[in-house]
Amino acid sequence: MKLFKLCFAAAIVFMFFNLVFAENDGYKHRILKVDIDGPITPATEELLQGSIARAQDEDFIALMIRLDTPGGLAESMRNMVKDILNSEVPVIVWVDPPGARATSAGVFLVAASDHAVMSPMTTIGSASPVTMGGEEQDETMAAKIINEMLSLVRSVAKDKDRNIEWYERAVTEAANIYAEEALQKRVIDHIAVSEEDLLSQLGKKGIYVAGEEITFDSQDIYIVQFEPGIKYKILSWLLHPQIAYLLFLAGMAGLFFELSNPGAIFPGVIGSMCLVMGLYSLAVLPTNIAGILLLILGFIFIILEVNMPTFGLLTTAAIASFFFGSLFLFDAEHPYFQIPTMTIIPVVLIMTVVLLGLAYLIGRSQMAPKTHQTGLPDNTSTAKVVNWTGTHGQVKIRGEIWRAQSREYVSLQPGQDVQIEQIEGLTIYIKPV
């Protein structure tokens, strides 16, 4: 009986470990795979840092980056290149699937990788730096930026024994080539038609891990997909151009409503939060300051239209400001950050109508006569003194406490009756009975 219990316990333990490690059965090594698809931003920088850290901590033999990017922010690109160069595990950059591209900032990631791979019908190139914010740059500043990028791409290409001359042309002439030509010119190391083909080629060539060369068959490798954390998902959402645009507009609209109707609280709180998040996103993305100013000008036109009606002239100006501000919000030299026109038009029209409607209702309510004033005849109603000092104090009328003044110095006692002489706003002028 005791032997039976021991065998049963051993079987349970075996089944447990078999379940936990089933994914690694028959595999000698593991490679961590991460997908970078879209513009290079601080969000993708965070994604790469997290994947490298996991690959190092959990003893993966390599990190595979499946890349498809039109480019992005230079600072984020430089930080990602630094992370790749200082990684303790070899980094494979694979431009995939067919039709994908590694342009602009993507060129530097490919150049810095330990193993550069492309799928058929993919392209690489156009790494010339562009300015942010739409401002003109003088020749000296432009030369500084070009030379800095040249120095970086030249050093990494030389370190990885790749075609330095072509990588320089990608920066200075925005050169582009397709996968087969890139392999012929030593811009990349391999062309792979599939994941298995990629692993087979890398296994035959060998991967250096901690100074030791590892060769393998594709069947020996288990690929683990890296799942990004909540921080990456939030950053990726915030740094989407359309999200940043809508957050900024929502924030301005919330503050507009709160300032027009003080005390509403909720629109002001939500608007402030949206505005802060929108401004953060716009500060990171390649924003054109003229676009932001035009959007703010549109809100000013709406306020002026409500307070000094111009029979639609200022409303038309507001719509134009909103439209052109939305159109110019992001630098035109970064087309992958642009907001589609078919998104701008309905957003501008809906926002204008809503703001005008709210402003009209608020203005109408503020201009309506006050019921407590119309119910108080000027020369017939009386009030009781609550407290009084010289020419001012407080009086009670029909259960309400009012601020009161007299046109000359009088001595009044609490509880004494006084005559209402005139009402101006929230102040009552009184005189002794």
Q: What is the mean pLDDT of residues 203-223?
A: 88
**Both tokens assigned to 364:** 């109408």
pLDDT band at 378 (very low <50, low <70, confident <90, very high): low
The structural domains of the chain, ordered by start, are 26-229 (3.90.226.10), 240-367 (no CATH), 374-432 (2.40.50.140)
Q: How far apart are CA 277 and CA 238, in angstroms?
A: 7
pLDDT band at 9 (very low <50, low <70, confident <90, very high): low
Per-residue pLDDT of 409-430, as tens digits, reads 888 888 888 888 877 767 788 8
Per-residue HEC secondary structure of 275-331 comes to HHHHHHHHHHCCECHHHHHHHHHHHHHHHHHHHCCCCCHHHHHHHHHHHHHHHCCEC
Single out the residue of 40, 45, 19, 9 nearest to residue 228, CA to CA.
45
- As a whole number, the mean pLDDT across the chain is 83
Per-residue pLDDT of 159-170, as tens digits, reads 999 999 999 999
The yes-or-no verdict on residue 363 having pLDDT over 90 is no
Q: Is 199 exposed, middle or buried (0-12, 13-18, 19+ CB in 10 A)?
A: buried
pLDDT band at 333 (very low <50, low <70, confident <90, very high): low
Q: How far apart are CA 262 and CA 61, in angstroms?
A: 61
Look at 25-34, 69-78, 124-133, 209-218 and tell me which has the smallest mean pLDDT: 124-133
Q: How far apart are CA 90 and CA 114, in angstroms?
A: 6
H or E element that contains 431: strand 427-432
Buried b (16+ CB within 10 A) or exposed e, 124-146: bbbbbbeebebeeeeeeeeeebe
pLDDT value, residue 80: 95
pLDDT value, residue 64: 97
The yes-or-no verdict on residue 1 having pLDDT over 70 is no
Of the two residues 21 and 316, the one the predictor is more confident about is 316
Query: Are 385 and 418 within 8 A, CB to CB?
Result: yes
Highest mean pLDDT among 61-65, 201-205, 260-264: 61-65
The yes-or-no verdict on residue 61 having pLDDT over 90 is yes
Per-residue pLDDT of 311-323, as tens digits, reads 678 888 888 999 9
Q: How far from the centroid of its chain's Cα atoms is residue 193's Cα?
A: 34
Q: Is 320 exposed, middle or buried (0-12, 13-18, 19+ CB in 10 A)?
A: middle
Q: How far apart are CA 205 and CA 283, in angstroms?
A: 44
Per-residue pLDDT of 271-316, as tens digits, reads 889 999 999 888 888 888 899 999 999 888 887 877 776 667 888 8
Contacts of 12 (CB under 8 A, 6+ apart): none
H or E element that contains 153: helix 139-159
For the entire predicted model, the pTM comes to 0.69
Check residue 40 and report its DSSP letter: B
Torsion angle of C-alpha atoms 188, 191, 195, 199, degrees rounded to 10: -70
Of the two residues 305 and 389, the one the predictor is more confident about is 389
pLDDT value, residue 419: 84
pLDDT value, residue 184: 95
Of the two residues 152 and 412, the one the predictor is more confident about is 152
| 29 strand-pairing partners | 221
pLDDT band at 19 (very low <50, low <70, confident <90, very high): very low
H or E element that contains 400: strand 400-405
The yes-or-no verdict on residue 263 having pLDDT over 80 is no
The yes-or-no verdict on residue 2 having pLDDT over 60 is no
Q: What is the mean pLDDT of residues 395-402?
A: 79
